[in-house]
Amino acid sequence: MDSSCYVEYIALHEVSHETLFLHQLLDSLGFLPEEPTPLHCNNDAASHLAEDQTGHPSVKHICVKFHSVQQLVEEEEIKVTRVQSADNMADILTKPLGRSDFLCLRQYLGIYPSS
């Protein structure tokens, strides 16, 4: 497993716990969503690891607590969905981008140049 998969998997774990908290809050208000909450991930290996319940020999070093994301996927609380790099809004904050990619992602964020 490469380090980007590890980092993305840990991020899925963290956001899944935030999602679980929001589910509990919405449930207490009477607005529990009927569908699993989509979590967007742009790392195929991390997505497959979150959805695959069979264990992988190359991830034995990952702390067991991070595999709770697999349980939430199995219980259909969350659904890990693939986001294409061209549509990944986080890239505008984390990667050097070409002009066209930057302008596209800036527009996704609702930021427009002042006229």
End-to-end CA distance of the chain: 47
With beta carbons less than 8 A apart as the criterion, state whether 71 and 111 touch.
Answer: no
What does the pLDDT look like over 67-114, one tens digit per residue? 678 888 888 888 888 888 778 888 888 889 999 989 888 888 888 887
What does the pLDDT look like over 49-62, one tens digit per residue? 777 756 565 665 56
Q: How far apart are CA 9 and CA 48, in angstroms?
A: 10
Question: Is pLDDT at 63 greater than 70 in this prediction?
Answer: no
Q: What is the pTM of this model?
A: 0.70
